Amino acid sequence: MNSADKKIIDELENKIAGNPNYLDFLGANTKELSHGYHTYPAMMIPQISREMIELTLKHSDSTIESIYDPFAGSGTTLVEGINAGLKSFGNDINPLSILMTHAKTTAINPDTLSNFIETVFNQIDEHRKQFDNRHLELDIPSFPRIDFWFKESVIFDLQIIKDAIYSVENDNVKNFLLAAFTETVRYVSNTRNNEFKLYRMAPDKLEAWNPDVIATFKKNVTSNEDGNTSLFNKVGEQTEATVKLGSSMQIDSLYPNESFDLLVTSPPYGDSGTTVAYGQFSRLSLQWLDLDPEVEEDIIKLDRIMLGGKVIKELTPQEQLSMLKSDTLTEIYNSIAAVDQKRALEVLQFYVDLDVVIEQSAKVMKHGSYQYWVVANRTVKGYQIPTDTIIAELFDKYDVIHLHDFYRNIPNKRMPKLNSPTNKKGQLVATMNRETIIMLRKL
């Protein structure tokens, strides 16, 4: 451990000593700047990224000009990067993540944006009147089960809004409006509120469900407009973020080796099928966007192509464990396998895939650069999986050393607090109520 490592650790640990709940950021505004544009599963709160960025900029011996997130998600790290004056880079396999991050990291002149919004709102209102008077025909989408997930009147209003957005020629403004549109799609659909997976409302609630689609969209746009003004006042009219559509297991096809000075990320805590279903959450919004059928097919299978989504049986479990070189993972795999071999293989595949990400992320980081991975330890078949320890062990073989762990409770993150490891009614265990911030440095 060098002097810079010690300064970062000591300063943050002193803050925690003065307030054991410091990293919980209770009462903090997690929606400031553009962070409130869109909901997203398991969003990392911006205060975590901000804390790690500020401490590293303050104490690092190296010049830090860029920040990278291999799991861009809702764009939290990239927004905080431009907020700190850094060039921000990221990637994600989910097209909705790319849309959100582009919108959230692009500050638009407030006067320019206001003029576009007024024009779009007027067009929506005028086209709604024309449609009511049968003077307007709509080209309605035909994606599978649209009538199951949306009421007819909702479909009409969403199409009117979408047509108005796509008439905008300014790409930055269009992305800004599409972020509000996709948030609207999710809210006005027939899905249960506050659910990330696709569940239809109960019949009695569905019968009474009559959302004002246009009012909801306008409300979302107006709220996001305030966020844009806040971001613009802080960073000016600039786009210093680069976010690419691509798998974190193929970073080498997206960015050159030794490109970045700092990494802050929050990876999935397990495969989408059993933790957070990012694909299901995104599906309806993405189907409302104009996507090629080939891409749409990938979206439908999004949860399967994320980390751990599909078990690959080219090597035996023991061969895979030998290559991973994590004693902790070997022990937890054997424990789960004794109870449920299939489930153990699914768990192992997640860490096999994660190890690919770790190797690739190590390559694109510069020598001496810091990495902060925010993770939680989930429970499978009654066994808590120490992902924090496993990640540290996986990194070791790529010359990235584990320096320290910081801990925080999860008071705000939208995650399941209980699950059923046996799938038997009434048998619930606590899942992820605490996060670990793993601090590492490339040698």
Residue 298 has pLDDT above 70, yes or no: no
- Tokens for 340, please give them: 């449920």
**Among 199-208, 391-400, 410-419, whose mean pLDDT is lowest?**
410-419
At residue 76 the predicted structure's pLDDT band, cuts being 50, 70 and 90, is very high
- Short-list 122, 171, 199, 162, CA closest to 285: 162
**Mean pLDDT calculated for residue range 5-29:** 96
Task: Please tell me whether residue 317 adopts helix, strand or coil conformation.
Answer: helix
Close Cβ partners of 380 (under 8 Å, ≥ 6 residues apart)? 270, 274, 336, 343, 347, 421
Name the more confident of 418 and 98.
98
The Cα–Cα gap between 93 and 112 comes to: 31
Tell how strand 434-442 and strand 400-409 pair up: antiparallel
CB atoms within 10 A of CB 323: 12
**Mean pLDDT of the region 89-115:** 95
The overall average pLDDT reported for the chain is 89
Mean pLDDT of the region 68-85: 96
| Distance from C-alpha of 315 to C-alpha of 328, rounded to nearest angstrom | 20
**Residue 418, SS3 per DSSP:** strand
Q: What's the confidence (pLDDT) of residue 240?
A: 74
DSSP alpha helix (H) spans, 338-405 = 341-364, 387-396
Predicted confidence band of residue 422 (pLDDT cuts 50, 70, 90): very low
Q: pLDDT grade, residue 319 (50/70/90)?
A: very high
pLDDT at 2: 95
With 70 as the cut, is the pLDDT of residue 315 above it?
Answer: yes
Q: For position 345, what pLDDT does the model report?
A: 92
Q: What is the pLDDT of residue 290?
A: 75
Q: Is the pLDDT of residue 296 over 70?
A: no
Extract the runs of DSSP E, i.e. beta strands, from 80-234: 87-92
SS3 assignment, position 379: strand
Per-residue pLDDT tens for 222-263? 999 999 999 999 999 877 799 999 999 999 999 999 999 999
Specify the DSSP class assigned to residue 43.
Answer: P
Distance from C-alpha of 389 to C-alpha of 386, rounded to nearest angstrom? 6
pLDDT band of residue 216 (cuts 50, 70, 90) is very high
Check residue 417 and give its pLDDT: 46
- For 260-270, write each residue's pLDDT tens digit: 999 999 998 87
Cβ 241 vs Cβ 88: under 8 Å: yes
SS3 72: coil
Question: What's the DSSP call for residue 189?
Answer: S
The most distant pair of C-alpha atoms in the chain lies apart, rounded to whole Å, by 73
Q: Do 211 and 201 contact (CB within 8 A), yes or no?
A: no
Which pLDDT band, with edges at 50, 70 and 90, does 41 fall under? confident
Residue 346 structure tokens = 């699914």
Which residue segments constitute the domains of the chain, with CATH numbers given?
3-94+239-275+302-442 (3.40.50.150), 110-235 (no CATH)
Stretch 299-308: mean pLDDT, rounded?
58
Question: What's the pLDDT tens digit per position in 107-145?
Answer: 999 999 999 999 999 999 999 999 999 999 999 998 889
Rounded-to-integer distance, Cα 62 and Cα 111, Å = 39
The reported pLDDT for the residue numbered 301 is: 59
Query: 302 falls in which pLDDT band (50, 70, 90)?
Result: low
- Please give the Cα distance from 47 to 53 (Å, whole number): 10
Full-model pTM: 0.90
The mean pLDDT of 60-86, rounded to a whole number, is: 96
**Residue 299 predicted with pLDDT over 90:** no
